[in-house]
Amino acid sequence: MSGEKLRLDRGLFGRLRRDAGAEWEAYVRHPFVLELGAGTLRPRAFQHYLRQDFLFLVQFARAYALAGYKSSTLAELRTASASVTAIVDVEMPLHVAYCAGWGISEAEMLAEPEALETIAYTRFVLEAGLAGDRLDLEVALMPCLVGYAEVVERLLADPATVRDGNPYGAWLDAYAGDDYRQVAIRAIDNLDRLGASRGAEARYAGLLATFRTATRLEAAFWQMGFSI
Amino acid sequence: MSGEKLRLDRGLFGRLRRDAGAEWEAYVRHPFVLELGAGTLRPRAFQHYLRQDFLFLVQFARAYALAGYKSSTLAELRTASASVTAIVDVEMPLHVAYCAGWGISEAEMLAEPEALETIAYTRFVLEAGLAGDRLDLEVALMPCLVGYAEVVERLLADPATVRDGNPYGAWLDAYAGDDYRQVAIRAIDNLDRLGASRGAEARYAGLLATFRTATRLEAAFWQMGFSI
Amino acid sequence: MSGEKLRLDRGLFGRLRRDAGAEWEAYVRHPFVLELGAGTLRPRAFQHYLRQDFLFLVQFARAYALAGYKSSTLAELRTASASVTAIVDVEMPLHVAYCAGWGISEAEMLAEPEALETIAYTRFVLEAGLAGDRLDLEVALMPCLVGYAEVVERLLADPATVRDGNPYGAWLDAYAGDDYRQVAIRAIDNLDRLGASRGAEARYAGLLATFRTATRLEAAFWQMGFSI
Amino acid sequence: MSGEKLRLDRGLFGRLRRDAGAEWEAYVRHPFVLELGAGTLRPRAFQHYLRQDFLFLVQFARAYALAGYKSSTLAELRTASASVTAIVDVEMPLHVAYCAGWGISEAEMLAEPEALETIAYTRFVLEAGLAGDRLDLEVALMPCLVGYAEVVERLLADPATVRDGNPYGAWLDAYAGDDYRQVAIRAIDNLDRLGASRGAEARYAGLLATFRTATRLEAAFWQMGFSI
């Protein structure tokens, strides 16, 4: 374990997160998440979330493929390509295996219709990236990438969180490791590099609008699970 | 007035509409629409719908601009260009003028955040068109284009519809004219032409999936107004 | 006639033009252009250019449709939509009428295969706009938009240019008017506005690379006509 | 070694290849290729080709990233992702290592401006894929993918080809192996699958136009090396 800390106040991401204040807090401390930490979330809500999250991952992989196309250097292309591979060849098989433990098969998830909230979030991200450039795309992806790391860090630091006997413990563990924190740290670093070369400072108002909407749609995604 | 009838069972559109049976009916006979016809819809619901419909129109115009880019003939390009012009230079000013009568200013609408349902529908359409070709895009646009003509035709034929003193009468009139019916008729014809040249027959399963999702998202757009 | 002067040294465009020094000069003072001004260009070269320019205009209109899709404000969308209309409904019919005078029919031009140089320039512009954002797209379009105005202004100021009896006189007149100069002036202004909101300063190196390549490809387009 | 034969007359690819008759032959039997086989090609021509081919590979990888985004199934996404990885993590390092033997460094290739022919071919492919769907994109990629396998098979069967002491022998060997033939065979198979689901039959005229232009641009790419 590298022990490198997740610094959420750094750089462009830190500024976006601060300025999205209320929306960000509503996302990372959503009741779905708090109940998951407390182990009180209804299994049916979690299962609905798991099925939609599978469909979400497919679109998420497409978003990184799009980032690959939108690369202007070979290094950017390699990073994006590694992300697609990580999603389709590592994350998705892990997700499928985990879902099997909840009685959900891959075939069932592939046949599931996408919920309104899944469509809203994923197509918003993809379309923001298509209409804009790679910076617009990466900003739209940040709430997901870094948010999950923050959600889990805060849950683990929260006395209301139950680890022993929590049916969602394995889910927490999956995002609590050093590996996922490294993914989030690298994403924060990469955004600064990309922001510097693509004029983030002058484009800040538009980038913040994208970030806030993506954050709002992430919260709606938790809510989708929660209110079923 | 040409008097040409709107034939909803014709060609590729007719087939898609039939096969989307339950979703289509849930859209064109949504309670929002029925209450609008009966004049019983709450003004607050209608005003919310009007504000979001303005934001929808901006994205709709972008979708036709995208269709212009995706044209493979000059004729296709001209048709798409005329649609963009019709939306931004005719429909939107009419919408703005109409909304003023409901106490809603253009500035207010431009400042309104897009609802989840507005994002879901518009970005789904745009992204389907970007990932696929012009046929995928046009299929995703059909539920809106033809649906409004059908909604109004059925309301006008419905004894439960109130025309005298209905606060929504002007809205009904706007879509009841020969002009809008011609738009719908031409869209049905164009889809057949495009479908023939872009292999609609062999691609039918995918096109139907797009059409059903777009129809479902249109119904969700009514529901957004209805449930506020 | 407004008499407003074309100021080629202003703003972002002025900086790009200066920094593309040698490429820019090779484009706006290409032998094709000088011989056209002197009336000594071989008709066969000019006719080849005219046919390819028609095919170029189709792609140019698609580029503005793409700019319409890539708009983030209604004002930007309206500007792009007006450009598409101007190209397909005004410029192209004028081009077709002018070509008829040189014995070239529209049908002939539609059947003409695109030359390597036509493909290179048009697809470079479109793809730069798709991979990047609207600023990348507009920068790629500038050499064409402003270059033609400069080419003609310099020819008219050049004692080597022949106006009486020059077979290409009508072509010169078409771009010499106040109308076209206004198009170029507005393009220079718009680029500054767009550049300010999309971070042109920080992105300058990349924008200059796009501008230089587009300028080089414009020169290659003259050369295509010249060397037939 | 599987020994599976490359069947060039099969399926959709076979039909496209036949119908592009003269263009195809001009590409796969271009003087550049014949002289390469005979060992008589000027080293300077080959080195120019190698430098541009590196720049081509970057765009080629972006095209597969785009195919990943344009996938409609997880299987399609995985195939495209594997292609990007193969290009950026296997082919490009091999190319760099091979070029080093010809005295060309990676830094030199990265600094090299793209030739007109490189821009024309790569941007045509990418833009065809963006304007159309994944089938349009894959058809535009086929001349490169399968053409190299055919070029080398025909050279190896040609008595004019010199293997002993041919300075280009290692290049021939790289494409002559079973590995590359398998890539070409799988591409031919995949195109049939994709064509069946995306309506290739009804879209054949448009697909053939794309295939012919791509083939013509591949020949121009050889010519670029040849005529330096």
pLDDT of residue C1: 45
Residues of C with catalytic roles: 144, 218
Is B218 annotated as catalytic? yes
* Mean pLDDT computed over every residue of chain B: 95
Q: What are the structure tokens assigned to B160, written together?
A: 């439960």
**Which chain A residues are Cβ-neighbours of B62 within 8 angstroms?**
131
Average pLDDT over residues C58-78: 95
Inter-chain contacts counted by CB atoms under 8 A, chains A and C: 46
pLDDT of residue B2: 56
> Which among B116, B127, B213 has CB closest to A126?
B127
| One-letter identity of residue C151 | V
pLDDT band at B72 (very low <50, low <70, confident <90, very high): confident
Q: How far apart are CA D109 and CA D113, in angstroms?
A: 8
For an interface test with B, give the residue of D127, D137, D203, D210 to mutate (most B CBs within 10 A): D203
Which candidate in A138, A144, A150, A153 is catalytic?
A: A144
Decide if C110 touches D, using CB distance below 8 A.
no
| Contact criterion met (CB < 8 Å) for D199 and B197 | no
Length of chain B: 228
> Which among A62, A120, A126 has CB closest to B116?
A120
Q: How far apart are CA C8 and CA C146, in angstroms?
A: 8
Q: What one-character DSSP code corresponds to residue A73? A: S
Is B25 annotated as catalytic? no
Q: How far apart are CA D131 and CA C142, in angstroms?
A: 22
- Per mean pLDDT, which range of B13-17, B160-164, C53-57, C71-75 is the poorest? C71-75
Phi-psi region of C225 (alpha: psi -120 to 50; beta: other; left: phi over 0): alpha
> Which among D197, D201, D206 has CB closest to B72?
D206
Decide if C69 touches D, using CB distance below 8 A.
no
Q: The complex's ipTM?
A: 0.96
Those chains having 3 or more beta-carbon pairs within 8 angstroms of chain A are B, C, D
Q: Which of residues 176-215 of C touch A (CB under 8 A)?
A: 196-203, 206
Decide if D116 touches C, using CB distance below 8 A.
yes
Q: Report the share of chain D in percent with pLDDT over 70.
A: 99
Decide if C74 touches A, using CB distance below 8 A.
no
**Domains defined for chain B, CATH in brackets:** 11-24+41-226 (1.20.910.10)
- Please tell me which residue, C3 or D33, carries the higher pLDDT value: D33
A63-101 pLDDT tens trace: 999 999 999 889 999 999 999 999 999 999 999 999 999
D189-196 long-range CB contacts below 8 Å, 24 or more apart?
Answer: D189/D11, D190/D79, D190/D138, D191/D11, D191/D12, D191/D13, D191/D138, D191/D139, D191/D142, D192/D10, D192/D11, D192/D12, D192/D13, D194/D76, D194/D134, D194/D135, D194/D138, D195/D11, D195/D12, D195/D135, D196/B202
Residues B224/B115, Cβ–Cβ less than 8 Å: yes
DSSP one-letter string for chain D = -------TTSHHHHHHHHHTHHHHHHHHT-HHHHHHHHT-S-HHHHHHHHHHHHHHHHHHHHHHHHHHHT-SSHHHHHHHHHHHHIIIIIIHHHHHHHHHHTT--HHHHHHSPPPHHHHHHHHHHHHHHHHS-HHHHHHHHHHHHHHHHHHHHHHHT-TT---TT-TTHHHHHHHHSHHHHHHHHHHHHHHHHHHHHTTTTTTHHHHHHHHHHHHHHHHHHHHHHHT-
Q: How far apart are CA A137 and CA A120, in angstroms?
A: 15
Average pLDDT over residues D200-225: 97
* Mean pLDDT computed over every residue of chain A: 95
D31-36 long-range CB contacts below 8 Å, 24 or more apart?
Answer: D31/D222, D31/D226, D32/D222, D32/D223, D32/D225, D32/D226, D33/D151, D33/D155, D33/D222, D34/D155, D34/D160, D35/D226, D36/D155, D36/D168, D36/D171, D36/D172
Does residue A1 register a pLDDT over 90? no
B23-64 pLDDT tens trace: 999 999 999 999 999 999 999 999 999 999 999 999 999 999
The Cβ-side half-sphere exposure at D170, using a 13 Å CA radius, reads: 9
Does residue C217 register a pLDDT over 70? yes
Query: At B209, which helix (H) or strand (E)?
Result: helix B204-226
* Min Cα separation C196/chain A (Å): 7
Single out the residue of B114, B87, B98, B97 nearest to residue B46, CA to CA: B98
> Which among D116, D119, D130 has CB closest to C130?
D130
pLDDT of residue C177: 86
Does residue D1 register a pLDDT over 80? no
DSSP one-letter string for A107-162 = HHHHHSPPPHHHHHHHHHHHHHHHHS-HHHHHHHHHHHHHHHHHHHHHHHT-TT--
Average pLDDT over residues D122-130: 98
Q: How far apart are CA B69 and CA B80, in angstroms?
A: 9
Query: At C44, which helix (H) or strand (E)?
Result: helix C43-69
Q: What are the structure tokens assigned to B38, written together?
A: 């009966």
Does residue A2 register a pLDDT over 90? no
**Which chain C residues are Cβ-neighbours of D116 within 8 angstroms?**
116-117, 120, 217, 220
| Contact criterion met (CB < 8 Å) for B72 and D200 | no
**Which chain D residues are Cβ-neighbours of A65 within 8 angstroms?**
65-69, 71, 77, 80-81, 84
pLDDT of residue C228: 86
Q: What are the structure tokens assigned to D181, written together?
A: 């033939």
Nearest-CA residue of chain A relative to C203? A198
- Please tell me which residue, D123 or B2, carries the higher pLDDT value: D123
pLDDT of residue A101: 96
